Amino acid sequence: MGDAYAGRTLRRLRLRWVLVACLAACATALAFAGLRALLADALARRWLLLVVPVLAYELALLWRFLPRNRAGERLLPSLGPGTLLTIARGVLIAFLAGFLLLPQPTESLVWLPAVLYGTAALADYADGTVARLADHVTTLGARLDTEFDALGILIAPLLAVLYGQLPLWYLAVSAARYLFVLGRWLRRRRGLPVFDLPPRRSRRVLAGLQMAFVALALSPAVGPPLTTAGAALVATPFVAGFVRDWLHVSGRLS
């Protein structure tokens, strides 16, 4: 009976994945049409070249982790408002990725990258609260939240560096989480122990500070040398936190 229920529930979740994918495709088509009206057709098509693979990657993650849509041991048949908000945040990050292939926006679009990432950052703080209020906190939502955080921290600083708003070394922030995950994987592959991370409230605070700073750096409101000084203040504790976490998982720090 339990296996039959889980099978039916997973099929329902996959149907919801199809609906989410269709809605994401519609949102992308509308955004593409809007950019075509404001930019040259060739630039809008170039934007789409990166948006589509990033969005496909995010949808692939959602499909892969659907069996984790659980509260405790029970597989839930709906995604829940918090998870849907996280998915919407992923769509915004995919839209931001498209600007990596475009020249820095001017005039009517000059604020758009900052607005996209700033909105995604605000949604990052809201999705967990929404999930708790709806009593729909799941391991799926938590995993997507982590993956989309890392993706945003990869894309947004890279864009700010391309715009000349942040120094090249700030990309250490973008690489930190992926190097950490790679290091854990390599330890497991070599048969070395990988220890659990202790809870640390500052992780969330530092990630939020980084998101807010990069959203500001993407805007025309500030620029070097102010953003360069801010980069040092934000990047140092963020990267140091990952170094500390690595010392924990590798057993060098108890």
Number of domains in the chain: 1
In-domain check, residue 174: yes
In-domain check, residue 104: yes
- Domain with residue 27: its CATH number is 1.20.120
In-domain check, residue 169: yes
What residues contact 205, with CB distance under 8 A and at least 6 apart? none
In-domain check, residue 254: no
**Neighbour count for residue 237 (Cβ, 10 Å):** 14
Q: Most distant CA pair in the chain: distance in Å?
A: 64
Whether 114 and 163 have beta carbons less than 8 Å apart is answered as no
Q: pTM of the prediction?
A: 0.94
Q: Which domain holds residue 65?
A: 2-249
Tens of pLDDT along the chain (254 residues) come to: 467 777 899 999 999 999 999 999 999 999 999 999 998 899 999 999 999 999 999 999 999 999 999 988 889 999 999 999 999 999 999 999 999 999 999 888 999 999 999 999 999 889 988 999 998 999 999 999 999 999 999 999 999 999 999 999 999 999 999 999 999 999 999 999 999 988 888 888 888 899 999 999 999 999 999 999 999 999 999 999 999 999 999 998 87
Task: List residues bridging with 74 in a β-sheet.
Answer: 71
Whether 114 and 219 have beta carbons less than 8 Å apart is answered as yes
In-domain check, residue 72: yes
